[in-house]
Structure formats: structure tokens, C-alpha cells
Structure 1
């Protein structure tokens, strides 16, 4: 365990945290971002394979056993010509990746015309759509990607008023194919739908003799609409995921709404200051009537002393989740929600933000299991190692963490997944001072893992269940003298909001419990805390990790993946979409030089499947870089997928910066064999780095992959 104390860290962090808490939303596209040396840079080769249709992200890449590539077309611009005006899932016919050492394709040029920008383009093959948003499925009783209320009402904008986290069916993300035959030609495609309520669909797929794939939408289903998933409370914001070593879909809930403190602040800062003003995050307002309006309310209440309520926007869809669970939509009024509180059924915040294992994938109704014991966060993805015990996880967003979970025994060996037991860890970067002295391209981040706690899945599930039944009525009754049935006025809601700002939301885990857990952790160690406090690191994972000084400053940790069956000596890849804000400012402990385009790190698996060094292998551009540089550089990496031969698919969710086109791309990264050092720029001189320029801010060949245009 790393030797440091929370007290010494807190003393120096309060002022910095307060300064950070009044900042606005992230600064990812700052055109005045100065040049960072050796950015962009690629250690190996980076080739663009595809550009997606205008407005859409490249999400959910999956390579079938025969080398065929599939990905999702997520939230495309509605003005694109059909069929690219709707979200879709498609594959590239007429092309298969070869794993014999050959690249197999010539790099795709940048799109030059509006017609090219509004279609899906590829270096080889044609994008064939298998399914599109809201296609009729399951005998016509459902629409693809759309959750329903228990009585079968589709939860769409024409049925329900109020804030939403994405339109239902518009945001397909992760895709994983579970084969049901030895040849891998038949099976089920599981797809995440990144919305609230969340969803995972299952579509039967088959491959014909000519290599073409066919989707059976008649027999497809939305898992959200099954009793098995609804009994778990459903899901929120299902983002990326992985195929487990035991051949099931692992779906990651990206519950952005979990921060209880904003940015670099800690709960200890609140206790020391005696107020949460300037520090509270969105979680504290989860069961507030109209929760997304808390930012506007805080701005109104506090004026010049207002602050950014981190992730306030991500509690959009919580009320829709209540309707999904069966609540009466009492607050519907015209084009928005009124102040009538939902009091019959309301989602428990501690039920969301987990890895969901879709067990029995070929059964009539799959059996979803939430791994509560792996911690609660805005999970982008899990990566389970071949020991079937070690799992690396990434929490997306500003001032978040990467985490590790190690099961006591191989995960599939537990007859009952609720018996799964293991230890949750948070990262501590040990070479933070050294990281200030060189650009990110030359800085390996050295990590030690800090134990947060040990539990079983059943134990954490029981702790979560203690917070069931709390509603918007409780928000008002707990924090004011209001009684159900009385009128809810703006003045009453303000009184409740101010009480929560000052003393925290008393309906959930309290500030005092988190600070007491940290005090006991410091004096007794993680195994010595009181039984009632053992829950803290599992259901308030980010707050707990921050409280003991772990490095919870990563900005948008997006993708983690390793080759299937990875062994010690192989690599795990980590995508950090934006290296800025609290990774690069003076508010936190990490103070790296800013790279708005992000960084892809890799870490070598050690003998025990541990990792301790994150080595940068792809460095994105600065926001201020011109098109000659930005056009061919990887910007804001999102999903990562390591293919069987070790090449890495890199998807973009790009803040387009100075590009001449506004499309996200899918790149194929080929690492340099055996490289542990400076890759294609061994002397450290910007002048001969083909991905950067001459070191004086002048673009060179403008190609982050080392190939001329």
C-alpha cells in the first residue's frame, strides 16, 4: 500500500479545489492552447481506415473471427442523406482484416467534399447496414434500442416531457458477438445503447457462404424490456464494454451522474470548510424534482459565487428511468416537467454505474448480473485478463480514475455470481514531479495500486438495497419542513437545495460517513474499518478514492483493451481522450503539459497480471494545431479494440480542432515490434518527428502516422 496520509494531502488541496470548483465545463477546444513539444506523435504506424458520416461517432468496433469489421454509427446528423441520417449498426462487406503481418489496405484519404463527409467511407469494403434505430423487432412489439414502461409504452420524446440523456435508439455503442456454433458463423450480436434508461439489444446474426452477414430483427429483443433486467433497476448510459473470457457480453454503465464533489474537491474539503458551497456535484441532487435544473438554480441562488455542479447535465433521464420502473408520470406539464415530486417509484442512484455481465446469452431471456463489487463509476469499459481474476476499468469524465479489481478466484468459477469476492484498487501516480519536466510523449506514468476494500458481490448488493424506496418526496421532506400533499413552490425547492448544498443529501451516504471511513482507513487499514463503513469505497468509489489521496485526475479515460488471451509480456492499452484540465493545470497533483487531443498509453502485463507503467505510444495534437497537422492525427480517442495480431483499432469522439473536415475516424495502429523507448523519434528532436513539425510551431508533413500525404 502506498505510504501517504489523507491529512497532509487535504491541507494543501483545499485552496486548489475551491479554485477548480468555480471553473466552467472543460476547456478541450481552446484555440489558444500553446504547442506542446512532440505532439502529435506515433510510436509505430497509424493508418486511417474509415471516416464516419457527419455528426456521428465511431463506436463499438468489433472484428469477427473471419476478420470482418463492424461498428456503430452513433448519433449522425439528421441532414445526412439516407441511410446515414439514422443511427445504425453495420459491417464492411468485401474486406477482411488479415492477421498474417500485412496491413491489408491503403490509407483512406481525408474527405474532400460534402458528399464524402455525409457518408461512411472506408479504405476497403462497403459499409452494409444490419439494423437502424427504432427498427421494429421482436415480432413488431418493440423498437430497436427503445426501452418501454412496464405496460409497454415506448419511452420516447413524443410520449414524455422533460430532460433526456440522448434520444432512445439514437446512440448505439459497444457491439460484441457471441457465437453459437464452432465456425463462428451464427450467434447473437449484443449492442449497448448509451441513454437513460439504458439498454442492451440482442440481434441474431448469421454469415452466408459468400461472407455476407444477415440480421434477424424479427427475433431481436431489447434486454431493457425483460423482467430480468427491470428487476435489477434497469441500466443507465450503457457505453462501451467487452467480450468476457467466458464468452458473454460485459456492458459498462457510464453513469456520469455519480460525482458528489466537483472536479478536484474532496468530501474532506467540504467538512473542513463547513459548507458544500462551491464543491457539491450532481449526485447530491439525484432525487431533486427536475434534477438537471440544479445548475441554473445554483447560478441563480449564489450569483458570482456559483460553481460548476459537475455532471449536472448527466442526471438527465433519471425521471424517465423512474417511469421505466413504473412511476406515474405526475410531473408532465406542457413541454416540460412541473415541480410535482415523483413519490411512488424512483431509481436508487447506487444501482447504476456498474459492469453488467449478460449471462446465459443464448437463453430465451438472458440473465444479467451487475458486478457491484467492482465499484461504482462512469464506466467506459472493462478489460478482463486471461487469469479471469484481474479486471482493469476506466471511468470517463473530468477528474476521474482508472481502477483495478482482482477477484479471489476466477470469476466464472463462482456458481452464484453474487458470491464473487475480490479487492478494489485505485491508482496512485508515484512520479508526478518528474512528469512536470518533460512533454507527455516522453513521460511514463508510474502507478502503484491503492487497496480500497474487499467484499463480495452479495454484500455490496445488500448495501445498495438499503437505499431503495427513496424518492423526490424524500428530497423535500428530509431537507425542509414540507409534508407530502403540500404545494411545492420555487421558494420551498430553493430551501431544500440550499440545505443539500450546506449539509449534503441526507437521504444517501453522508459526508460524515465518507470522512470517518477515510479516518479509520488511515489508522486501521482498509480491512479494519467498521462494518457499516465497508460500503463506502464500493458505492461511493470516486469520493472514497479521492479522500485517501489516490490519483483521481484523469480526464476522460475512455478505452481499455488487450489482445484476447493476453499473457504476461503482452500489453494493455489505455485511451485518455483529453490530457487537459486537472491532468495539466495547477489545481491537482498531476501537472502534465497539455495535449487536448489526448494520449494512448500502453502497459506491459507483469507476472501477476499487474501493471505499473503507462507508456505513451500515440500522442494527439494540440487544439491550436492547423489542418496540416490535425487532419491526419488521432484526436480524442474513444473506444479501443486490440485485434488478434496486436494491432489496435482506435475510434474517435473528436473535438475537431483545426481539421479541414468535421468527421470522426477509425484508425488502425500498428505498434513497433519490441519498442520500449522513443519509437519513431529516438533522439527526442522535434525537427525529425514526422508527426509534429520543426519544433517552432511550423507544421511538417502534417501526418501523425509518418506517411506523406
Structure 2
């Protein structure tokens, strides 16, 4: 189908070509390199610049152009699957970098000096192209952008183009500065790491439990001018974290690794699981998050022998505890699921032996991230799972996360609104319980003896929804293990979740459910448990403190409002099912978006508002919904800069995922 541009459309097309804001290239299909033919199509202006999307009907022509004859001519644009030519870049977005084929963007972190660290997680093992430093990106990669202070980037930026050639698609491309690899999976740094970076050892200190190509969170702790430690999560089962001593040449901006000071941290007898994103506390300690690998909302299945065999999380953890076991079912120590899925603080981070501390009082669930406010007490936490909960923790004492009160959010959606880009939510905080990690650990220990031989079909060896409902109802005792609890049946639960758990059945009620099964407890108390893939959550501490406390920390700007930002990668399931508290349109369900919350006195929040959403179109190749390459595709984590702009790392469907910079002021 051929479309004729209006005069306005022609003008916009010329502007787009001049500014290179419109990228007409494949970004999701495997035939991405073929996308080069798009700009050479017969009506190349329409397909190449994609500005048709700026001109009403012409905007639709931009999308059609991928599959018609508008310069992309169907397969010339990678079969129309990549969002190419669908229009100008989403206003306010700048493509700062792209990662290689197969990789997602992880670990974005910006230092006080404007140094930007980020990683390429699980890139394709078939990548063969080399960058200017001779590096090949076929395994997990940790690096930094050298030669540029990200804080000094002007607001009027030009994006890095969508990768087209093999060289561009298989390496890390940056719009500004140069990407420098600091370490890759297996690097031993001159023998300092005998087993290699990303290799997690069992408790015997010799057996490799897992070789991870999944570097995630980065946190940098300065120890002097142009020197410091880089902490990196390795998202595997069992999980890991590395610490690398770095030095930066003040003149060249080049970074070097001190090979005498590199390590994989020791997480002790139980280890960690799936160390995902994280943050640096205001007092300078890394906070790592244990995310996936449990049975989610179905804890009763954890010790099911049919689910604890070869290849299971249970077996991976059992082999960490004792490297000689075959499967968890054969292990002398069956892993206790309540030992995992917490926020872990790395105390004494610069010592010869950093000390990890699990903060049980902050709740157990699939933690993506936690962010501590400048008051050193208030913490906001995200749960990355289907039908997750938004949590808040308030510590009893500043700088001490071992004791405090856990809250869960109850949402009220804007009346008469369902469009993701314009729909917000009011927040009511429901108090769950107060506790301290010492007391909670004694409850956890009661489950250490549970094994697969204790499993009974239709019952639970662990805490159940019946237990949560009885707790929320104020019952004096836990429900029976042998008799179904009627309120749980009335609430719609079946089988194991209608009976009390094995360990607590008939015992005096306590608050353990709030900390060991935080989602069940929050749901029983009426909190909203409908979020889908609630990802990274972030605040800029300088902006937050200036807005809330009136201090003057941001040069040349008076900060009256500061925001906590968070990303939702996949707005599906409970968010779009027309049930419960969240009832959004499914328009961008596969592409996700970003929200923010304005900080109130005391670092409280009571309102969630949308900031920027992905953009979908219908692929005529197979009828599937796709995410436009010039908009967000499943944002994973977010970092807030000193000037209020945000960095967004993608974990999406594009051929090459992007590290975006977004300026919220564009669309205020």
C-alpha cells in the first residue's frame, strides 16, 4: 500500500532524517541485518524515516510501511516484526546504548563523578564480533562507559542508532563515551580468582555450584579519589556476588582492575538464591535481592519429591550445601525455602571478608529491589512475580534494617480510567506486622528439618493461605492440619491452602506469616496483589533530601518535588484482567512502562502516577503484538540521576535491548 505524505508530513520527514531521531531498522526479528534494505526501498522516505506516525494517518502509514511498499517493502524491514519506521522516538527518550544479541541490560549504576556502569547479561554464545578493544560478547559482561560524565550530558541528545550490521548487533554500542569491559564470566584476573568470575562455589570452597553468565546489579563504593570497589550480583541458583577493586586514570578515564583484590563473596552455609538487582544504602553498604527460584505462591509444592529432582532449585541449593548429593531428595539436608528470598546487606564491605546479613524483617518474597530513603529508615520494595505486592518497610532505628514494621499497599485506581499512560492509583498502606530478624530466624529454623519425605498430597509442610486468613482474622490458634479451615474455602482456596501447615497446626498464633509468606499475609489483609513483574525501584537521594528536608544539594536547581520511580516490565495477568484493584487496558501489556510516586513529608508516598509507556503495533507477519523499537520494551531497572532524568535498562523482545535515558520534564 502506497501513502502520500502531506506537506506537513514531508516537512516532518525531513526533520526526522536530519536529526536521526527516527530509526528504520529491524530490532526484534532474527533477520535484523536485512533491515538495511528498508531505507533503500522504492518509497524510502516513507519507510526509512517512519515520520508518517507524526502526521495522523501518515503515522499509521509508517507502521504499514514495514509490510507494504513504503520503503521497507515487507521483508526488507525484517519481516515487519521489529517496530521499525513506526514513527519518531518517544519524546524524551534517548538511546544511550545497546547490548549484544541475546543480552538484556542490567546493572546500571552512576557514581557521584558521573561514571556509568552497566552489564550485558546472558548474551548469545554465538556472538563472534569484536569491539575496538578486541572483546567478544558471548558471555556475561561487566563494564563501564569511560570518557564521559553522565551528569554533564546535555538535555538535547542524539540517540545511538538501532544496530544493523553484525558488528553492531554483536557488540555493545554507546552513543557517548566508550564502553570498557571490566570482567567477563570465567575471567581469573591473573589467577586471583582461581575458579573465575561468576563462578559460585559450594560450601566446600572448591566445587563450582554454578558458572553464571548473568551479571545483574552493580554498586560502586568509593574508597578514595578515582578508586573503589565494584560489587556485582550474579543472578543464578545458588546466587553470587563479586567484588572487584578498580582504579581510574584521571587523565584518560581508563579503568583498571587491581588483580590483588578481587573475590566472589562467601554467603555462608545456606547461600543465596538468584541475586537480582540491588542498591547502595545511604550508609554505603550494598543491598542485594534474592528473586526467583522458589515455588512462588505455591510453597506447599517446595518439598514435593516430583519437583525436587534433577534440574530443580531444590537440588541446586542442596548441592551448594553438600556438593556430593545427587538430588535434593537424597540430601541429608533438604533446603529450607524459608532460608531464601530476602534482602541481603553486605556489611563490612571493604574488609577482607565482607559479611552478608539477611534482613528477615523486610519480608520474604521474590525481591527485585529495595531502595532506602535518606532518613535511613523508610524502604520501598518491589516483588518481581505474577500477582505481586508493593511493600514498604520502616526500620525501628536509622541505619539498622534488622528490625521494623512491614506494610503492604492497597490501591485505588482512578475512576473511569484504564489507559495505562494516564491512569494512576491512590495508595493506602496496610500494616502487616513488626518484627526483628533474630525472632524471625527462630521461626525459620523450625522448618530446617522438613524434607521431601514429609510431603503429603493436598497438604502443606509450610505456611498456607488458611494460616494467613486465620492470622488476618485474629484467630488465637493456627488452623488444623487435618481439618479444612472454612474461611479459606469461603475465600476460594482449595486443597493444601485450606489446611493449616504441618509445623504450626493448632499452635498459638504469631506473626511469622507476615515475614515468611509476606504475599499471603498482605493478600489476607486486603492489600493489592496484582502487579505483574514489578521491577527496579529507585530514588535520587540528593533530590529526595532537598525536596523533603529543604537542604540544598542540587546545584543550579531548587528541587521542590522528588519522586520514587519504578518499572513494570510486563503489564499482564492481574493488571489487565478486569478484576480486583488494577484494571488497566491491555494496550501495552507486553511492553511495560514506568511509574513514579511523589515523596511527602517523612518520605511517605500516597499516589502512583504513570510516566512513560511502551508502544505496541500489530505485526502483519504473524499477527502478534510487538513493541516498537523507538519506545520502551519491558523496562527492567531504573536509576534516577541528579538532574531528574532517569536511566532505563530493557529486558525485552528487541533484537538488541537498549539502555535508555528519559527526561520526565518533556512530558510534564
**What TM-score comes out, normalization by structure 2 length?**
0.74
- Name the counterpart of 1:24: none
Matched, 1:285 2:301: yes
CA, structure 1 residues 401+593, in 2 after alignment: closer, same or farther (shift >3 Å)? same
* Alignment match, 1:406: 394
Distance 2:661 2:363 in 1: 32
Find the partner of 1:213 among 242, 255, 258: 255
2:222 is the counterpart of 1:179: yes
Aligned residues: 528
CA spacing shift, 1:148–1:605, aligned 2, 3 Å: same
Please report how far the alpha carbon of residue 575 of structure 1 lies from its aligned counterpart in structure 2 after TM superposition: 0.6
1:426 paired residue number: 408
Give the Cα–Cα distance (whole angstroms) in 2 for the partners of residues 169 and 343 of structure 1.
24
Q: Describe the shift of the 1:198–1:574 C-alpha distance in structure 2 as closer, same or farther (beyond 3 A).
A: same
Query: 1:143 aligns to what SS in structure 2?
Result: coil
Alignment of 1:468-507 (within 5 A): 468-475=448-455, 479=456, 499=457, 502-503=458-459, 505=460, 507=461
CA contact under 8 A between 2:617 and 2:627: conserved in structure 1? no
Equivalent in 637, 642, 665 of residue 644 of structure 1: 642
Displacement of 1:105 in angstroms is 4.4
Q: Which residue of 2 aligns with 1:393?
A: 381
Whole-angstrom distance in 2 between the partners of 1:145 and 1:629 = 32
Deviations 1:601-631 (A, max 9, x none): 1110000211111111101113637899702
Which whole-Å CA distance do the structure 2 matches of 1:617 and 1:68 have between them?
Answer: 25
Per the alignment, residue 575 of structure 1 pairs with 567
Aligned position for 1:460: 440
Give the 3 Å change call, closer, same or farther, for CA 623–441 of structure 1 in structure 2. Answer: same
- Write the deviation string for residues 646-687 of structure 1: whole angstroms up to 9, x where unpaired: 21100000033xxxxx110000011217xxxxx36xxxxxxx
Aligned to 1:621: 615
Structure 2 SS opposite 1:394: strand
Aligned to 1:496: none
Q: Is 50-59 or 250-259 further displaced after alignment?
A: 250-259
Match of 1:605 in 2: 599
Match of 2:99 in 1: 52
User: 232, 244, 247: which one pairs with 1:203?
Assistant: 244
The 1:45/1:562 distance shift into structure 2, 3 A limit, reads same
1:628/1:408 Cα in 2 relative to 1: closer, same or farther (>3 Å)?
closer
C-alpha separation in 1, matches of 2:279 and 2:520: 26
Q: What is the CA–CA distance in structure 2 between the aligned matches of 1:640 and 1:467, rounded to whole Å?
A: 36
2:420 to 440, 449, 464: 440
Q: What residue is the counterpart of 1:370 in the other structure?
A: 358
5 Å-filtered alignment, 1:512-661, equals 512-520=466-474, 532-565=509-542, 566-567=544-545, 568=548, 569-594=561-586, 595-596=588-589, 597-622=591-616, 624=618, 630-656=628-654
- Shifted more, 198-207 versus 530-539: the winner is 530-539
Q: CA deviation at 1:514?
A: 2.2
Distance, in Å, in 1 between the alignment partners of 2:618 and 2:577 is: 17
Alignment partners' CA distance in 2, 1:514 and 1:129: 48
Q: Secondary structure at the match of 2:473?
A: helix
Structure 1 alignment gaps of length 5 or more: 1-28, 30-38, 157-166, 261-280, 295-314, 332-339, 480-498, 524-529, 657-661, 674-678, 681-709
Q: 2:276 aligns with which of 239, 244, 248?
A: 239
- Superimposed CA distance per residue, residues 331-386 of structure 1 (whole angstroms, 9 cap, x where no aligned partner): 4xxxxxxxx82231222101111111100001110011111000011111101000
Query: Secondary structure of 1:537's partner?
Result: helix
What is the distance in 2 between the residues matched to 1:625 and 1:445? Answer: 32
Greater relative contact order (Cα < 8 A, sep 6+): 1
CA offset at residue 511 of structure 1? 4.4
Q: Please give the residue correspondences for 1:154-173 in structure 2 after superposition, counting only pairs within 5 Å.
A: 154-155=207-208, 168-173=211-216
Equivalent of 2:324 in 303, 328, 332: 328
8 A Cα contact 1:327 1:346, kept in partner: no
TM-score under structure 1 normalisation? 0.70
Query: How has the CA–CA distance of structure 1 residues 290 and 366 changed in structure 2, closer, same or farther, with 3 Å as cutoff?
Result: farther
Q: Structure 1 256/558 Cα, relative in aligned 2: closer, same or farther at 3 Å?
A: farther
User: 2-side partners of 1:79 and 1:105: how far apart?
Assistant: 33
Q: Could you tell me how far 1:258 is from its partner in structure 2? A: 4.5
Q: Is residue 2:105 matched to residue 1:123?
A: no
Distance 1:41 1:563 in 2: 29
Q: 1:114 aligns with which of 126, 147, 166?
A: 166
Are 1:253 and 1:380, in contact at CA under 8 Å, matched by a contact in 2? yes
Matched, 1:666 2:666: no
Residue pair 1:41, 1:441 contacting (<8 A) in 2 also: no
Equivalent residue for 1:451, pick from 410, 419, 431: 431
Q: How many angstroms does 1:644 deviate by?
A: 1.8
Cα distance in 1 between the residues matched to 2:285 and 2:170: 34
- Following superposition, the deviation at residue 437 of structure 1 comes to 3.2
Equivalents in 2 of 1:67, 1:426: separation in Å? 35
Query: SS state of the match for residue 474, structure 2?
Result: helix
RMSD (Å), alpha carbons: 2.8
For residues 40 and 396 of structure 1, the distance between their equivalents in structure 2, rounded to whole angstroms, comes to 31
Q: For residues 403 and 308 of structure 2, what CA distance do their matches in structure 1 show? A: 36
SS in 1 for 2:522: helix
Distance across 1 between alignment mates of 2:110 and 2:465 = 46
User: Structure 1 residue 537: deviation in Å?
Assistant: 1.0
Would the aligned equivalents of 1:328 and 1:344 in 2 still touch at CA under 8 Å? Answer: no
After superposition, what is the alpha-carbon deviation per residue over 1:393-445, rounded to whole angstroms, capped at 9, x for unaligned? Answer: 00002111111001122124xxxx6xx3211111111236x2x5341211111
Rounded Cα–Cα distance in structure 2 between residues aligned with 1:671 and 1:44: 10
Residues 443/132 of structure 1: CA separation in 2 closer, same or farther (3 Å cut): same
1:148 alignment counterpart: 201
CA distance, structure 2, for counterparts of residue 384 and residue 354 of structure 1: 15
Question: Aligned partners of 2:565, 2:271: CA distance in 1, in Å?
Answer: 30
- Structure label with greater radius of gyration: 2
Per-residue CA distance 1:224-244 (angstroms, 9 max, x = gap): xx3xx213x110000000011
Which whole-Å CA distance do the structure 1 matches of 2:193 and 2:413 have between them?
57
Of the structure 1 ranges 89-98 and 340-349, higher mean CA displacement relative to structure 2 is found in: 340-349
- Asked whether the equivalents of residues 383 and 389 of structure 2 are also in contact (C-alpha less than 8 Å), the reply is yes
- 1:230 matches 2:268: yes
Q: CA deviation at 1:106?
A: 2.0
Deviations 1:214-233, CA, capped at 9 Å, x for gaps: 1234431111xx3xx213x1
